[in-house]
Amino acid sequence: MGNGIRLGLFGGSFDPVHLGHLLVAQAAMEELALSQITFIPAARSPFKPEQTAAPFPLRARWLRLALAGHSHFELDLQEVSRDGISYTIDTLRDYSRRYPGAKLHYIIGADHVAQLPLWRDAAELASLTEMVVVPRPGCQPVSLPEPFRGTWLRGWPIDFSSSQIRQRVSEALPIGHMVPSGVEESILDSRVYSKASSNKR
Protein backbone atom coordinates (compact mmCIF):
# COMPACT_ATOMS: atom_id res chain seq x y z
CA MET A 1 0.00 0.00 0.00
CA GLY A 2 1.15 3.54 -0.64
CA ASN A 3 0.32 6.39 -2.92
CA GLY A 4 -3.38 6.79 -3.64
CA ILE A 5 -4.51 4.50 -0.83
CA ARG A 6 -7.09 5.98 1.54
CA LEU A 7 -7.17 4.21 4.91
CA GLY A 8 -9.75 4.62 7.66
CA LEU A 9 -8.62 3.99 11.23
CA PHE A 10 -11.34 3.43 13.83
CA GLY A 11 -10.08 3.46 17.41
CA GLY A 12 -12.01 2.98 20.63
CA SER A 13 -12.64 0.60 23.47
CA PHE A 14 -15.38 -1.32 21.60
CA ASP A 15 -16.75 -2.40 24.97
CA PRO A 16 -18.68 -3.94 23.28
CA VAL A 17 -18.69 -3.41 19.51
CA HIS A 18 -22.22 -2.71 18.22
CA LEU A 19 -24.13 -2.15 15.00
CA GLY A 20 -23.59 1.60 15.23
CA HIS A 21 -19.85 1.04 14.85
CA LEU A 22 -20.39 -0.96 11.65
CA LEU A 23 -22.77 1.64 10.24
CA VAL A 24 -20.27 4.39 10.96
CA ALA A 25 -17.54 2.42 9.21
CA GLN A 26 -19.73 1.81 6.17
CA ALA A 27 -20.71 5.47 5.98
CA ALA A 28 -17.05 6.49 6.12
CA MET A 29 -16.19 3.97 3.39
CA GLU A 30 -18.82 5.39 1.08
CA GLU A 31 -18.50 9.10 1.80
CA LEU A 32 -14.68 9.23 1.74
CA ALA A 33 -14.04 6.50 -0.86
CA LEU A 34 -11.79 4.60 1.54
CA SER A 35 -9.90 1.48 0.53
CA GLN A 36 -10.39 -0.18 3.91
CA ILE A 37 -11.19 0.55 7.55
CA THR A 38 -9.19 -0.93 10.38
CA PHE A 39 -10.74 -1.29 13.84
CA ILE A 40 -8.13 -0.67 16.55
CA PRO A 41 -9.30 -1.54 20.09
CA ALA A 42 -7.55 0.42 22.82
CA ALA A 43 -5.91 -1.12 25.85
CA ARG A 44 -6.75 1.87 28.05
CA SER A 45 -7.96 5.37 27.23
CA PRO A 46 -5.80 8.27 28.49
CA PHE A 47 -9.03 10.17 29.21
CA LYS A 48 -10.64 7.31 31.13
CA PRO A 49 -7.74 5.68 33.00
CA GLU A 50 -10.03 4.52 35.79
CA GLN A 51 -12.47 2.77 33.46
CA THR A 52 -12.15 -1.00 33.45
CA ALA A 53 -13.11 -2.41 30.07
CA ALA A 54 -14.17 -5.98 29.44
CA PRO A 55 -11.11 -8.24 29.20
CA PHE A 56 -9.34 -7.77 25.89
CA PRO A 57 -9.75 -11.39 24.66
CA LEU A 58 -13.52 -10.89 24.87
CA ARG A 59 -13.48 -7.53 23.09
CA ALA A 60 -11.27 -9.02 20.36
CA ARG A 61 -13.58 -12.04 19.99
CA TRP A 62 -16.62 -9.78 19.60
CA LEU A 63 -14.83 -7.67 17.01
CA ARG A 64 -13.85 -10.76 15.03
CA LEU A 65 -17.46 -11.94 15.09
CA ALA A 66 -18.70 -8.49 14.06
CA LEU A 67 -16.21 -8.05 11.21
CA ALA A 68 -16.55 -11.55 9.75
CA GLY A 69 -17.65 -11.35 6.14
CA HIS A 70 -16.76 -7.66 5.75
CA SER A 71 -13.86 -7.79 3.32
CA HIS A 72 -13.00 -4.09 3.65
CA PHE A 73 -12.96 -4.13 7.48
CA GLU A 74 -9.87 -5.30 9.34
CA LEU A 75 -8.76 -5.72 12.96
CA ASP A 76 -5.47 -4.40 14.36
CA LEU A 77 -4.49 -5.36 17.92
CA GLN A 78 -1.35 -3.24 18.18
CA GLU A 79 -2.60 -0.93 20.96
CA VAL A 80 -3.34 -3.86 23.21
CA SER A 81 0.00 -5.46 22.28
CA ARG A 82 1.73 -2.28 23.49
CA ASP A 83 -0.31 -2.47 26.72
CA GLY A 84 -0.60 0.47 29.10
CA ILE A 85 -2.42 3.66 28.08
CA SER A 86 -3.20 3.80 24.37
CA TYR A 87 -2.08 6.98 22.62
CA THR A 88 -3.40 7.59 19.11
CA ILE A 89 -0.17 9.27 18.02
CA ASP A 90 1.74 5.98 18.45
CA THR A 91 -0.72 4.22 16.17
CA LEU A 92 -0.66 7.00 13.56
CA ARG A 93 3.14 7.00 13.50
CA ASP A 94 3.06 3.26 12.87
CA TYR A 95 0.61 3.56 9.97
CA SER A 96 2.46 6.51 8.49
CA ARG A 97 5.67 4.50 8.56
CA ARG A 98 4.14 1.30 7.18
CA TYR A 99 2.08 2.96 4.45
CA PRO A 100 4.09 5.92 3.16
CA GLY A 101 2.03 8.06 0.81
CA ALA A 102 -1.30 6.68 2.03
CA LYS A 103 -3.95 9.17 3.13
CA LEU A 104 -5.01 8.40 6.70
CA HIS A 105 -8.46 9.17 8.11
CA TYR A 106 -9.02 8.73 11.85
CA ILE A 107 -12.63 8.24 13.01
CA ILE A 108 -13.70 9.91 16.27
CA GLY A 109 -16.98 10.64 18.03
CA ALA A 110 -18.29 14.20 18.11
CA ASP A 111 -17.74 14.28 21.88
CA HIS A 112 -13.96 14.11 21.31
CA VAL A 113 -13.68 17.17 19.06
CA ALA A 114 -13.18 19.72 21.85
CA GLN A 115 -10.51 17.51 23.47
CA LEU A 116 -8.33 17.14 20.37
CA PRO A 117 -5.80 19.84 21.40
CA LEU A 118 -5.23 17.83 24.61
CA TRP A 119 -4.27 14.62 22.78
CA ARG A 120 -0.61 13.65 23.04
CA ASP A 121 1.59 15.38 20.42
CA ALA A 122 -1.51 17.02 18.97
CA ALA A 123 0.30 19.05 16.29
CA GLU A 124 2.07 15.99 14.91
CA LEU A 125 -1.14 13.98 15.10
CA ALA A 126 -2.95 16.66 13.08
CA SER A 127 -0.24 16.51 10.41
CA LEU A 128 -0.55 12.73 10.00
CA THR A 129 -4.30 12.30 9.58
CA GLU A 130 -7.60 13.88 8.71
CA MET A 131 -10.28 13.47 11.35
CA VAL A 132 -13.62 11.89 10.48
CA VAL A 133 -16.17 13.02 13.04
CA VAL A 134 -19.20 10.85 13.84
CA PRO A 135 -22.23 13.03 14.69
CA ARG A 136 -24.74 12.26 17.38
CA PRO A 137 -28.43 12.72 16.61
CA GLY A 138 -29.29 16.40 16.89
CA CYS A 139 -25.60 17.37 17.00
CA GLN A 140 -24.63 20.23 14.69
CA PRO A 141 -21.17 20.09 13.05
CA VAL A 142 -18.63 22.56 14.43
CA SER A 143 -15.18 23.52 13.16
CA LEU A 144 -12.30 21.32 14.24
CA PRO A 145 -9.80 23.11 16.50
CA GLU A 146 -6.57 24.22 14.80
CA PRO A 147 -4.44 22.62 13.45
CA PHE A 148 -6.79 19.65 12.96
CA ARG A 149 -8.60 19.15 9.68
CA GLY A 150 -11.24 16.73 8.52
CA THR A 151 -14.89 16.21 7.85
CA TRP A 152 -18.14 15.28 9.56
CA LEU A 153 -19.96 12.16 8.41
CA ARG A 154 -23.43 12.70 7.00
CA GLY A 155 -24.71 9.15 7.26
CA TRP A 156 -26.41 7.15 9.97
CA PRO A 157 -25.92 8.80 13.36
CA ILE A 158 -26.99 6.21 15.94
CA ASP A 159 -28.55 7.12 19.26
CA PHE A 160 -27.18 4.32 21.40
CA SER A 161 -23.82 3.50 22.88
CA SER A 162 -21.72 0.70 24.31
CA SER A 163 -22.49 1.93 27.83
CA GLN A 164 -26.22 1.55 27.15
CA ILE A 165 -25.63 -2.00 25.95
CA ARG A 166 -23.67 -2.81 29.12
CA GLN A 167 -26.51 -1.38 31.19
CA ARG A 168 -29.15 -3.39 29.33
CA VAL A 169 -27.20 -6.61 29.83
CA SER A 170 -26.88 -5.87 33.56
CA GLU A 171 -30.66 -5.46 33.67
CA ALA A 172 -31.27 -8.67 31.68
CA LEU A 173 -32.75 -6.74 28.74
CA PRO A 174 -32.29 -7.92 25.12
CA ILE A 175 -29.55 -6.44 22.95
CA GLY A 176 -29.94 -8.50 19.77
CA HIS A 177 -31.14 -5.43 17.85
CA MET A 178 -28.04 -3.47 18.88
CA VAL A 179 -25.11 -5.80 18.21
CA PRO A 180 -23.95 -7.86 15.19
CA SER A 181 -24.96 -11.46 14.71
CA GLY A 182 -23.23 -13.81 17.14
CA VAL A 183 -22.02 -11.04 19.43
CA GLU A 184 -25.08 -11.09 21.69
CA GLU A 185 -24.68 -14.78 22.49
CA SER A 186 -20.98 -14.37 23.23
CA ILE A 187 -21.61 -11.37 25.50
CA LEU A 188 -24.30 -13.20 27.45
CA ASP A 189 -22.20 -16.36 27.73
CA SER A 190 -19.29 -14.34 29.13
CA ARG A 191 -21.48 -12.79 31.87
CA VAL A 192 -18.96 -9.93 31.95
CA TYR A 193 -21.70 -7.30 32.07
CA SER A 194 -24.03 -9.13 34.41
CA LYS A 195 -24.86 -7.44 37.70
CA ALA A 196 -22.68 -9.84 39.66
CA SER A 197 -19.70 -9.18 37.38
CA SER A 198 -20.34 -5.44 37.22
CA ASN A 199 -20.22 -5.17 41.00
CA LYS A 200 -16.67 -6.54 40.90
CA ARG A 201 -15.47 -4.05 38.26
Angle at which helices 183-190 and 56-67 cross, to 10°: 160
- The predicted-structure confidence for 164-188, as pLDDT tens digits, reads as follows 999 999 999 999 999 998 999 999 9
pTM for this one? 0.91
- Which domains are assigned to the chain? 6-158 (3.40.50.620)
Contact 127, 106 (CB under 8 A): no
Q: What is the largest CA-CA distance in the chain?
A: 51
Q: Is the pLDDT of residue 91 over 70?
A: yes
Helix (H) or strand (E) holding 107: strand 103-109
- The predicted-structure confidence for 135-172, as pLDDT tens digits, reads as follows 887 778 889 999 999 999 998 767 789 999 999 999 99
Highest mean pLDDT among 29-38, 48-57, 74-83, 186-195: 29-38
Contact 61, 185 (CB under 8 A): no
Q: Is the pLDDT of residue 92 over 60?
A: yes
